[in-house]
Structure 1
């Protein structure tokens, strides 16, 4: 079936113009709707949840740093009246006037130079924390990805997930990888945002195939994802495993429908917050996104 629902049907899409204002109010805000997550009751689930927390902290820091750099650039472009006054005094102005009297005044605290020093210090501090958080993210991702190789066969609703290549899920299409999983500068919203999947470039109308057997849990418009399908594949490593497919031009399945691995579930498009035809593909454990590449 073909579905072309308006954005208001399930999660309004944030406009590019309003995204910076939303991020200014909450630098860690999600601009894409997120499905419910399961309680993190196993060590593996807690690890995936911790990864999500770190990634949102990285997103927050990146947006704060971007805004602080903009503030610093504006300050540096403007003249500093206090520096101009000091220059004129030391260049032969009023001999009785003391530059130290000017420097001691309360006005000096809030000057372009003073603000520049404060902003530069904030940037240095933020960059140091960002490096720490990225190291923490890398460690968690490495540990989570390492477990993929030892995950037992998934007990899917219809059949076990077949191992394909080095992963445990089939590739949904053969398109070129154009964007990886992780925090990035979003090409649509022009702010830093967690990219919870991978992008595979392909022409509009290219068939999208289910990565494994399962049951459709969602099929419809989902905010910035556009036409979006999620398939529940049972449990893996003690967590609910699902794959999701965004920006489709046409959906060819319905919620509740049983799906076989390799079955065509939709067609590549550029719906929602998309800058060109491609498939946005996600792997989620307990509803939380993880890097799809080790799985396929």
Structure 2
């Protein structure tokens, strides 16, 4: 009963929870939530992600555990009530049996005493050959004595008759009591079996309630420990995130500056080419300056269009996450997922999305092993791509051609599993890679 009292608070909590549907369906919901969290936590460290996913999974199991405890405690209370009723019925049946046994014992003694008296009468009749009383009456010396003795004989005979009748009645009562006692004993035995079965069910129900409470207590303890783990790891993860953001800002400045320098260089080349062309025309035309038929279209590679596929896919892996804003479940704010994720086995090749120059390669902090390729001016914009979380880097510097292996898929940095985080930057700003793929 102490267990039942200890579970009262949990029952109250459980009663406020909507009744659980099929436990298997509830588990599927929790599993789906966990998978969704894993996608949202792609740019989170493995240890923090694992701690948070474990915490959310535990939270998901708590309502069902509370309901299971409430159900187990309810069954235990019902089983205890049934056990109490069965025990009372057994006690009542046993009391009836004991009372009948006492009555049987008393009746048995009465029958024994009556049998003794009848035996004594029979012995006397036998000894006197059946004529003792009559002889006593006939041997009287006067009429009064004869009458007195005859009355005495009648009295003795009456007592003998009553004794015989009482013995017959007592014998019948004894037989009835024996039958009644047999029935009561059978009823007592049945009630005893029922009481024992009810007790066994009550004990089993209490054991189930104890296990349910232990499960709930364990889940609550796990939740507390996992919450502490998340809080502890969150501090380190925020520091990594700050480093990544600082790296992003630095890269944006570097790429913006390179794009501006490339534009100036392209403009200078166009100006020099125009000057040389004009000088050549003057020399060929006797000093006349010819008008150019049209201006330059700009330097650098030309893309088929912003959505025309200038960049090639860097991996053959499945697209597991697209570019866009997300509400981060741990940081509790909206955060840009600044690239496109390709889920592929660790060790799978990662290829350059277009010709370019490797301007950065190495440890990128939260980005893990990282390579940045500058593709120059494309359709008037400075275009660069980044390849992150690599297991290892194959090419670290110099020019690179489209399709060359840059490195291999991994899960370094703040990553929850093997994948390539691929980014595109346009004049130093992150853009959806799909614009160029």
Query: TM-score scaled to structure 2, two decimals?
Result: 0.34
| Higher-strand-fraction structure | 1
Which is higher, the Rg of structure 1 or of structure 2? 2
Higher relative contact order (CA 8 A, sep 6+): 1
